[in-house]
Structure 1
């Protein structure tokens, strides 16, 4: 923590001027009580309780989510409206007790193309985590896709079975 102010308050700083470094990102609390970050464009989407996929079609991520800035989400498509460099991470949780298909391949599709570095396969139950950095030069829609139709249920109400995080880096 460090201050750039002369008035004292929370942790010795005026809350409006309080800065904290978390990892590599620097965040600032402003007087409205909202967090202001250097790269505030991000989308975080989840699917809870049941995960169903139709082969080659977007997986519907309609659980708790947050979508800001350059992003919009509808009908399984996450649309990026601004050019830039983006980082994505998706996680798929396939519970042992409910998993029927022994082999599934997941990927993120941008338009009709697979985003480089996002294709991964599983040979049974478990957790699959994938991340990639990619460039967007014009408006594009992303979708989390599986090559095979399947359906799994969560072990507990509210369990997250899939999540997708995309953030603008530059």
Structure 2
């Protein structure tokens, strides 16, 4: 491989579609569970509040303020559940691009409503290393990119099982000398 070659690593179409389908079902299940949790928590809060309001003759403003504060949690859980049901996480076509001057990572959606999206990043090629690490769970291995950036260690990793090229091609592309 020449040092001026650009290596574009893509996700395989079949595995990309399978991962997206799995993510959609996970997101849907999480949304439904958040809605159920919000309703259950709302009932657990609302029933004692209604019982306390009917048991006492005069209900003051502090009681209503307390009721509103206690009902914030079930409303927030319901809103998160609806937000989660509306999410459509997508896997980008390109996993990583290695140019003669930089390593480019695409933006990634996370399956959780609370987790922010991982932004696209561009690392300079100089000082960026990659190694193949064994992974646990469903992944056979992953390629981990590491860069020391102003005293802070930065890492990004991609699973090797979903890629259209062998992981050694990625590691070799970063190890080869580059010209700027």
Which TM-score applies when normalising by structure 1?
0.25
Higher strand share: 1
Higher helix share: 2
Q: Which one has a bigger Cα radius of gyration?
A: 2
